[in-house]
């Protein structure tokens, strides 16, 4: 009889998904990666009627991934994530190597032009946003940060004298520096005065410090309770850390800003499907429109390859790559 994926054969042996989570954490992967990998591994097991992965191999992986592309018609990035999860399962957890999976039907990779707002549209949008969500939106547009880079920002990462923001553990685990807009210096400093009152209240109640990167939490055990490591945009309420089960103050939930931008887009009458990431696209495009070198924009965005940044040249200035239509002549 085949072993079930969530039933241990002995009391000491952890369940398969627990093994997956433990290995992910030992590799210092993010919580989102952990959740995504566990999701795809579970779907893979259920797809094959709860057979244990050790009894399956390349053929079953190919069947599952092909089904995602053909029947579910998932995006190429989604199928790629599912494949990464299964390769992690077999190589890192089960310590089995699969042959190259040539039989997989790949989801078609679509090349899409990013949604970009004009500078007038950005102004209309931001004029309708107030309070902390408005400050967060202005910071994302003014610095080119991704949504999660913004909400995870720490006090120590902002250098007001140099007008610089350091982004730690960005996409791909890379650090980089980007600009702090001059117009946001005073609003951010005023915001941090209010945040400091929240921080002092937490310390007065002797609450656990904020979540820290794994290695630093062990190396500097007192840093979690220091002002420098506190969130720039903390949550107004406490929550339980999903990994440690410690009740502490986390950063603001990303949906707070996402919902605020959605409301502002509708109120501004903007027909484009603008999201928080649209502000990053607009940041890059408006810099290139302003004559800045594409390599500079690449560095500010944290792109590993300039070809990724080149996509913003497709939406510069005018439609049709800036070519004047013969009708307009």
Residue 42, Cα to own-chain centre: how many angstroms?
22
Structural domain for 124, as ranges: 119-315
Tell me the per-residue pLDDT of 145-194, one tens digit each, with 9 for 90 and over: 999 999 999 999 999 999 999 999 887 778 999 999 999 999 999 999 99
Do 160 and 287 reside in the same domain of the chain?
yes
Strands 158-159 and 247-251: unpaired
Q: What is the pLDDT of residue 323?
A: 56
- CA 322-326-328 angle, 5° bins: 80
Is 329 within the bounds of a domain? Answer: no
The Cα 226–Cα 207 span in angstroms is 12
Which residue, 7, 13, 4, 104, is CA-closest to 54?
Answer: 4
Lowest mean pLDDT among 36-40, 91-95, 178-182, 186-190: 91-95
Over residues 278-303, mean pLDDT:
91
Let me know: does 135 contact 188? Beta carbons within 8 Å: yes
Structure tokens at 86: 């299964």
Task: Choose, from 138, 146, 154, 249, the residue flagged as catalytic.
Answer: 146
Is 132 within the bounds of a domain? Answer: yes
Do 130 and 88 reside in the same domain of the chain?
no
The Cα 153–Cα 168 span in angstroms is 8
Query: At 100, is the pLDDT very low, low, confident or very high (cuts 50, 70, 90)?
Result: low
CATH code at position 89: 1.10.150.130
Q: Examine the residue annotation and report whether 51 is marked as an active-site residue of this protein.
A: no
Q: Examine the residue annotation and report whether 280 is marked as an active-site residue of this protein.
A: yes
Upper half-sphere CA count for residue 313 (Cβ side, 13 Å)? 12
Q: Examine the residue annotation and report whether 277 is marked as an active-site residue of this protein.
A: yes
Task: Choose, from 42, 168, 171, 177, the residue flagged as catalytic.
Answer: 171
Q: Examine the residue annotation and report whether 251 is marked as an active-site residue of this protein.
A: no
The Cα 152–Cα 250 span in angstroms is 9
CATH code at position 160: 1.10.443.10
Task: Choose, from 52, 168, 277, 314, the residue flagged as catalytic.
Answer: 277
Q: Examine the residue annotation and report whether 312 is marked as an active-site residue of this protein.
A: yes
Q: Which range has highest mean pLDDT (86-95, 162-171, 266-275)?
A: 266-275
Do 58 and 194 reside in the same domain of the chain?
no
With 0-12 CB in 10 A as exposed, 13-18 as middle and 19+ as buried, what is 26? exposed
Report yes or no on whether pTM surpasses 0.85: no
Name the percent of the chain lying above pLDDT 70. 87
Q: What is the number of domains present in the chain?
A: 2
pLDDT at residue 269 tops 70: yes
Q: Quick one: angle between helices 254-267 and 119-127, nearest 10?
A: 110
Is 1 within the bounds of a domain? Answer: no
Q: What is the pLDDT of residue 104?
A: 66
Do 77 and 160 reside in the same domain of the chain?
no
Query: At 11, is the pLDDT very low, low, confident or very high (cuts 50, 70, 90)?
Result: very low
């Amino acid at each position: 009889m085949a072993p079930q994926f969530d039933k241990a054969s002995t009391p000491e042996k952890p369940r398969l998904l627990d093994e997956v989570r433990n290995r992910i954490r030992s590799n210092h992967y993010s919580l989102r990666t952990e959740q995504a990998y566990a999701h795809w591994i579970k779907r893979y097991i259920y797809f094959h009627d709860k057979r244990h992965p050790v009894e399956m191999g390349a053929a079953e992986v190919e069947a599952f991934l092909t089904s995602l592309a053909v029947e579910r018609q998932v995006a190429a990035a989604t199928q790629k994530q599912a494949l990464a999860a299964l390769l992690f399962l077999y190589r890192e957890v089960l310590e089995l190597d699969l042959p190259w999976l040539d039989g997989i039907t790949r989801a078609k990779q679509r090349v899409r032009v990013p949604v970009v707002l004009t500078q007038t549209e950005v102004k209309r949008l931001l004029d309708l946003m107030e309070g902390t969500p408005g400050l967060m939106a202005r910071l994302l547009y003014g610095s080119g940060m991704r949504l999660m880079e913004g909400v995870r920002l720490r006090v120590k990462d902002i250098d007001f004298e140099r007008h610089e923001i350091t982004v730690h553990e960005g996409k791909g685990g890379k650090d980089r520096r980007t600009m702090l807009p001059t117009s946001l210096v005073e609003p951010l400093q005023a915001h941090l005065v209010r945040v400091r009152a929240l921080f002092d209240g937490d310390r007065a109640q002797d609450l656990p410090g904020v979540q820290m990167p794994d290695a630093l939490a062990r190396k500097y055990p007192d840093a979690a309770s220091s002002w420098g490591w506190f969130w720039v945009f903390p949550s107004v309420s406490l929550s339980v850390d999903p990994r440690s089960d410690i009740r502490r103050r986390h950063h603001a939930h990303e949906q707070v800003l996402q919902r605020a931008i959605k409301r502002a887009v509708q109120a501004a009458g903007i027909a484009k499907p603008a999201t928080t990431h649209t502000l990053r696209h607009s940041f890059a495009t408006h810099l290139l429109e302003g004559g800045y070198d594409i390599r500079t924009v690449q560095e500010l965005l944290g792109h590993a390859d300039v070809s990724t940044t080149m996509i913003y040249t497709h939406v510069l200035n005018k439609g049709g790559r800036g070519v004047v239509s013969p009708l307009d002549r």
